Structure 1
Amino acid sequence: MPIILDIPDEILETLKIPRKRAEEELKKELAFLLYEKDSPSMGLHENYQD
C-alpha cells in the first residue's frame, strides 16, 4: 500500500537541496526518522500492530 505525501511548494522552496533531489532526500529523512523512533520502515517490525 503506497503512501503519497503532498509537500506544499512553500516548504519545498525552503529546503537547502536542489528541487530535483528533494523527493529522494525526503524519503531518506523519513526513513531515518521512522527507524530512530523504532517504527517499521523497511518491512514489518516485530512490535508492529496494524
Structure 2
Amino acid sequence: MQFMKGAFLFLRVEIKAWELAVKNVWAMYDVKIIIGLTLIRKVLLEIL
C-alpha cells in the first residue's frame, strides 16, 4: 500500500515537472523564433 502511495505521489510530481518543462520549452521556442526572424531580416537587409 505504501509503495502505491509513493508511486502515485512520484507520478504526480513527474507530471508537474513535465508540464513546467513543456512551458519552458515553449517559451524558449518563442524566443528562438523571434531571434531567428530578426537574424534572417538582418541577413536579408545586408544582401539586398
Query: Which TM-score applies when normalising by structure 2?
Result: 0.39
Structure number with greater Rg is 2
Q: By percentage of residues, which structure has more helix?
A: 2
* Structure of greater relative contact order (alpha carbons < 8 Å, 6+ residues apart): 1
